[in-house]
Amino acid sequence: MNTSAPSSGRPAHENVALAAFADFISANREEITRHWVSAVDRSPRVQTSEDLTFQQLLDHLPQLCDDLAETLRSTYHPDLSEDAARHSTAHGRKRWQQGYRLDELIRELSIIRRDFVGRWFDSFVGQHSTFSREQRRQARSIVHQFFDEIISGSATQFVEEEQQRLFESQDALRAAKERAEAAERAKNNFIALVSHELRTPLTPILLGAAALARDESVPAHLREFAEMIRQNSQIEAGLIDDLLDASRLTRGNLSLSLSEIDLHSSILNAIDFCRSEFAAKKITPKLNLLAAISRIAGDEERLKRAVTTLVRNAIIVTPDGGAVAITTWNPEGEIEIAIEDMGSSLDADALERLFLPFEEGRRSTPFGLGGLSLSRYVCKAIIEGHGGKVTARPGGQGHGAILSVRLPATE
C-alpha cells in the first residue's frame, strides 16, 4: 500500500501532523492574534502602531492566521508565492493606508513571526509529544517560508506602488512644467507686444517736446513745460525698454551692438539725464573720474541706460540735500564705477535681493521708495553681458550703499 500523498510527495503521517498543527492554530486564532497585537504594540521600533487602536492593529492578522493554517493543511507546498502575494497585498495595503513605513511593516511581520515560533509553535510541540523532529523541521520551514514570502511580497508591492506614484508625480510635474512654460511664453509675448505698442506713441511725443523745448519763439514757461514732458517721456521710454529687455532676457535672446565707447561719457550723459531729479531734491553729484583708461567695447545705448539706472537709484534713496558720489578707477586692466548714495542702510538679505526682478528695494519713509528693481535687474544683465560684474555693499559710517560696476577696459 502506498503511504505517500501523491500530490505532495510527502508521507501521509506528515500531512496529518501538519493538519493537526493547522487545527491548533485555528482553534487558538483569537489568542494568537491578541498576542501578536500586544507584541507589536510594545515595540518601540514600530512607532506608527502607537497611533492605532487595538482593532486597527488587529485588522488583517486573523486572516493571516487562517491563511497559515490553510497553507499547513494543503497538500501542495513547493511554491507559496501566489498565495503569499495575496496575503501580503491585503495586509500590506492596509498598513500603507494606516501610515506604516516599509521598515515598520517588515518589523511588524518579524515580531509576529518571532512571537508565533517562540510561543505557539513551542506550545503545540509541548502538547504533541508524537510530533517528530522531521515534522517539526517541516512545520518550521513552512511557517518561515510563509512569512518570508509575505515580507518579500510586501516589499515588492511597496516598491511597485512607490514607483507608480513616482511616475504619476513625474507626469504631473512634466505637465505642470509645460503649462508654466506656455504661460511664461504667453506672458513674455504679451509684455513684448504691449511694450512695443506703448513705445510707438512715445516717439512723436519725445520729438515734439524736444522741438518745443528748443524753440526760442515759444514762451520760456512753455519751453520749461515741454522739457518736463520730454524728460518724463524719456524716463517712460526707458522703463518700456527695460520691460522689453527683461522679456528678451527670459527668452535668452538679448543681443548687444558693440562699438568702442567712452564710459566717462556715459556717466556724464547719465548725470545730465538726471539733472532735474538732482535739482528737485537739491542733491549734489560728486564726480571723481580717476580712471586713466575709460574706453571699453560696449553697447552704448544699453550701457548708458545701465549707468543711468544706478544713478537714478542713488538719487531716489538719498534724502533731500544729500550727495551722490560717483568714482571711477582702473583696477587690474578694468574700469570700475562706484556710485555711493546716502540712503538707508542695507542688510545682507537686502544686498542679496537688490538686483532681483520685482523686489521692492529699500522702503524707508525719509528716503522714498527703491522701485520694483526691474531696471536694476536689466542693468545687471547688461553689465554681465559685457563680461562685467555689478555688486552692492553697505556704504560708509553705517548708512547708504555703494553699487559698483566692473567692466573690461580697452587699451
pLDDT at 327 > cutoff 90: yes
> Any residues with CB less than 8 A from the CB of 179 and at least 6 apart, and which?
none
Q: Give the per-residue pLDDT at 1.
A: 32
Do the beta carbons of residue 243 and residue 283 sit within 8 Å? no
Predicted TM-score of the model (pTM): 0.51
Mean pLDDT over the full length of the chain? 82
Do the beta carbons of residue 10 and residue 74 sit within 8 Å? no
Q: Give the per-residue pLDDT at 12.
A: 52
pLDDT at 77 > cutoff 60: no
Question: What DSSP letter does each residue of 279-333 carry, written as one string?
Answer: HHTTPEEEEEE--S--EEEE-HHHHHHHHHHHHHHHHHHSPTT-EEEEEEE-STT
Q: Give the per-residue pLDDT at 89.
A: 65
Task: Say yes or no: domain 4-173 is CATH 1.25.40.
Answer: no
Q: Give the per-residue pLDDT at 86.
A: 61
Q: Give the per-residue pLDDT at 338.
A: 94
- What are the tens digits of pLDDT across the range 294-324? 999 999 988 998 999 899 888 988 889 999 9
Closest CA to 283 of 350, 341, 356: 341
Q: Which of 9-13, 128-132, 254-258, 289-293 has the lowest mean pLDDT?
A: 9-13
> How does residue 75 score in pLDDT terms, banded at 50, 70 and 90?
low
Do the beta carbons of residue 400 and residue 342 sit within 8 Å? yes
Summary count for the chain: helices (H), strands (E): 14, 11
Average pLDDT score over residue span 14-27: 86
Q: Which of the two residues, 371 and 377, has the higher pLDDT score?
A: 377
102-119 in b/e form (b: 16+ CB < 10 A) is bebbbbbbebbbebbeee
Do the beta carbons of residue 261 and residue 304 sit within 8 Å? no
Do the beta carbons of residue 329 and residue 290 sit within 8 Å? yes
Domain assignments of the chain as residue spans, ordered by start: 4-173, 190-251, 259-408
Distance between CA atoms of 400 and 252, rounded to whole angstroms?
33
pLDDT at 266 > cutoff 60: yes
Q: Give the per-residue pLDDT at 289.
A: 94
Amino acid symbol at 53: T
Closest CA to 166 of 156, 177, 158: 158
Q: Which of the two residues, 326 and 39, has the higher pLDDT score?
A: 326
Q: How many Å from the N-terminal Cα to the C-terminal Cα in the chain?
A: 112
Segment of 53-62, 180-189, 348-357 carrying the highest mean pLDDT: 53-62
> Any residues with CB less than 8 A from the CB of 152 and at least 6 apart, and which?
84, 88
pLDDT at 370 > cutoff 60: no
How many CB atoms within 10 Å of residue 216? 7
Q: State the DSSP code for 50.
A: G
Distance between CA atoms of 352 and 30, rounded to whole angstroms?
66
- What are the tens digits of pLDDT across the range 202-256? 888 888 888 888 888 888 888 888 888 888 887 788 778 777 777 777 677 778 8
> Any residues with CB less than 8 A from the CB of 408 and at least 6 apart, and which?
296, 297, 333, 334, 386, 387, 388
Percentage of the chain exceeding pLDDT 90: 22
Q: Give the per-residue pLDDT at 334.
A: 92
Q: What is the fold, at CATH topology level, of the domain defined by 259-408?
A: Heat Shock Protein 90 (3.30.565)
